[in-house]
Amino acid sequence: MPQRPLVFTHLHKCAGSSVRRMLYHKFKGLIARERMHIPEITCGPYGNLPMMQKRGEALPRGILLLADHTPYALYDDHVLAPGDVFRMTLLRMPLDRLESYFNFCARTKFIPDKWSRFIDDLGAMPEAEFIEMCRHFEHNSGYVYWFDPKTRDFEAALRNLLSYDVIARHDRLEELCEMFNARNPYGVRFYLGDVRHVNQTPRSTHLTPRQREVAQGILEQEFAIWESPAVQEAMQSRP
């Protein structure tokens, strides 16, 4: 059984559901099910750690494979088994992720009804509401939130992200596989054919040119992380 915890930080709308399933199938013969925490697979669909904590439920202990919507290091001390953590994540261009996030959340009712009513015509959303929606996205699912959840400091978030063993683009999963195969300590290999896309939200509506301009200004920190030369280099690093 592997003794080094593996954490996959699943950002919203970054092909994470597909990778979570691949992780389970690759490790189910090596790690006992009770030492994996993967929502919709080893626990309920709403069983990610932030939701469990919000409901006041007891969190798991001694986890060797954690793959859920859990920001950087937030639960390491009291959930993971001891040992150096091997971390991996997928990133996506901010405007593309914002658009996908809106379509997904509007369909699943994870955003207020006042925004969901524009699911068939995002371009009709008043600009003031669109700005509010962009800020909601940044606060609840932005890169700074994911990688420095406690203080939300840009420099700390960038530093924490760059400490990951594998950082890849959501649309270049072959590079995720290559980097993982070259760096992981588990003797496990990923292949592109192992990844089956399971949560492709239909795009019924898209950002207008004006909305893209507005969003790019609001999501300045998102782009600063995405466009950081160090992050771009990390995503393009090949074995």
Domain that holds residue 87: 6-236
CA distance 114 to 106: 10
Segments of 86-215 assigned E as strands: 86-91, 166-169
Matching residue, tokens 């090596």: 30
Closest CA to 141 of 35, 222, 21: 222
Question: Quick one: average pLDDT of 12-39?
Answer: 94
Of 202, 10, 179, 13, nearest to 89 by C-alpha is 10
Q: Which residues of 61-85 are buried (b: 16+ CB within 10 A; e: fewer)?
A: eebbbbbbbbbbbebeeebbbeeeb
The one-letter code for the residue type at 209 is P
Distance of alpha carbon 166 from alpha carbon 90, whole angstroms: 8
- Quickly count: other Cβ atoms within 10 Å of residue 193's Cβ: 9
Query: How high is the pLDDT of residue 192?
Result: 85
Tell me what the mean pLDDT of segment 174-187 comes to. 95
Is 175 contained in some domain? Answer: yes
> What pairs with residue 86 in β-bridges?
6
What percentage of residues in the chain have a pLDDT greater than 70?
96
82 belongs to a structural domain:
yes
Structure tokens at 238: 């090949």
110 pLDDT higher than 90: no
Closest CA to 138 of 227, 219, 226: 219
Element (H, E) at 37: strand 36-37
pLDDT at 72: 97
> Is the residue at 1 inside a domain?
no
CATH of the domain at 181: 3.40.50
Number of domains within the chain: 1
Mean pLDDT of all residues belonging to the chain: 92
Evaluate whether residue 182 is within a structural domain: yes
pLDDT score recorded for residue 198: 62
Q: Is residue 98 part of a domain?
A: yes
